[in-house]
């Protein structure tokens, strides 16, 4: 089983501070990388949240968004009043009245206009929220995230298997054409030597050495054997139990398969083999694009 690095998961929990909601989104990245955004006061939980995410995401860029809905929380405490300032304003208004000989008395409406006599309560937005609440929230969202990544991984695995089958078909063509090409090249060489020698009897021993040289130069059996070994290892990784991340291993095997395909192409000297090599490399490129999103 393989897992995609692209996924989404969310979870909610009720706390004394209100309803906490966590959304987790992941995209492909070479390493484990996090970006956690929290409401004011909750930044102290970020390390615990990051640690709780690690069992669910081995590799990938993680964006986590924590929000707090206080509409369901207890009514916040009322603002406090600076009575000293209020009395000062009252005294100032009374003095102003006497000095200017104005009618009326200082009223509550007048004094309340001086907003600095009120102090907003210093709220602890995390009051009643324990670290275990955040860890549990991360675990719930992480489980949903993993489920989605595994489902996407199943689709990726199916596509990768199809690509491997296509490559194996082209490799079979290469294996079949390889010996035929050597026979054709041997016959062409014999004909060319006879034509150049004026139909004089050909030195079969020397011709055999030349053919052996060409056979060694153009032999692609080793590349095909290694290629099939890479395919088998690739297939085993895709079909594994998912207990370990395999993205980096698959990426390495893709590079090795491309290396063998390039060597086959350079040794081809034959239209059929060249076409098969190109077709194989096209499939490898499609595999490489998919593997970039495998954890």
7-73+131-147: CATH, from 3.30.230, 3.30.70, 3.40.1000, 1.10.287: 3.30.230
Q: How confident is the model at residue 194 (pLDDT cuts 50, 70, 90)?
A: low
Least confident window among 1-15, 75-89, 249-263: 75-89
Side-chain-side CA neighbours of 87 within 13 Å: the count stands at: 3
* Cβ 74 vs Cβ 16: under 8 Å: yes
For the chain, helix (H) and strand (E) counts, in that order, are 8, 6
The pLDDT of 216-223, averaged and rounded, is: 79
Q: What is the pLDDT of residues 65-109, one digit of tens each?
A: 999 987 644 556 677 888 898 889 889 888 888 888 888 888 888
Strand partners, 9: 24
DSSP run (H or E) holding 90: helix 83-100
Domain ranges of the chain: 7-73+131-147, 80-119, 152-291
DSSP 103: -
Q: How many residues does the chain have?
A: 295
pLDDT of amino acid 181: 73
pLDDT of amino acid 73: 46
Q: What is the pLDDT of residues 114-169, one digit of tens each?
A: 888 888 766 667 878 899 999 999 999 999 999 999 999 999 999 999 999 999 99
CA dihedral 198, 204, 209, 210 (to 10 degrees): 30
* Cβ 3 vs Cβ 293: under 8 Å: no
CA–CA dist 274, 279 (Å, integer): 9
CA–CA dist 192, 46 (Å, integer): 77
CA–CA dist 199, 40 (Å, integer): 95
CA–CA dist 4, 290 (Å, integer): 9
* Cβ 2 vs Cβ 294: under 8 Å: yes
Q: How does 141-154 read in b/e, with b if 16+ C-beta sit within 10 Å? A: bbebbbebbbebbe
């Amino acid at each position: 089983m393989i897992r995609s690095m692209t996924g989404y998961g969310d979870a909610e929990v009720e706390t004394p501070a209100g309803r906490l909601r966590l959304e987790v989104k992941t995209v492909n990245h070479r390493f484990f990388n996090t970006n956690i955004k929290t409401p004011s006061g909750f930044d102290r939980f970020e390390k615990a949240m990051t640690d709780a995410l690690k069992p669910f995401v081995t590799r990938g860029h993680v964006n986590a968004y924590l929000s707090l809905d206080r509409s369901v929380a207890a009514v916040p405490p009322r603002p406090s009043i600076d009575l000293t300032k209020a009395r000062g304003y009252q005294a100032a208004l009374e003095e102003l009245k006497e000095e200017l000989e104005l009618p009326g008395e200082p009223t509550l409406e007048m004094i309340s206009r001086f907003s600095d006599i009120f102090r907003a309560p210093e709220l602890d937005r995390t009051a009643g929220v324990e670290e275990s609440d955040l860890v549990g929230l991360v675990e719930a969202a992480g489980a949903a995230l993993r489920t989605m990544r595994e489902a996407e991984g199943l689709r990726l695995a199916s596509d990768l298997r199809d690509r491997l089958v296509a490559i194996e078909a082209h490799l079979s063509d290469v294996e079949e054409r390889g010996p035929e090409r050597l026979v054709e090249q041997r016959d062409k060489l014999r004909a060319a030597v006879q034509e150049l020698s004026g139909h004089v009897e050909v030195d079969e021993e020397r011709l055999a050495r030349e053919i052996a040289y060409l056979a060694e130069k153009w032999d692609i059996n080793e590349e095909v054997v290694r290629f099939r070994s890479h395919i088998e290892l690739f297939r085993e990784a895709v079909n594994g139990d998912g207990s370990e991340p395999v993205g980096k291993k698959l990426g390495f095997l893709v590079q090795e398969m491309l290396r063998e395909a390039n060597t086959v192409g350079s040794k081809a000297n034959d239209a059929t083999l060249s076409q098969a090599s190109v077709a194989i490399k096209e499939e490898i490129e499609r595999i490489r694009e998919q593997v970039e999103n495998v954890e």
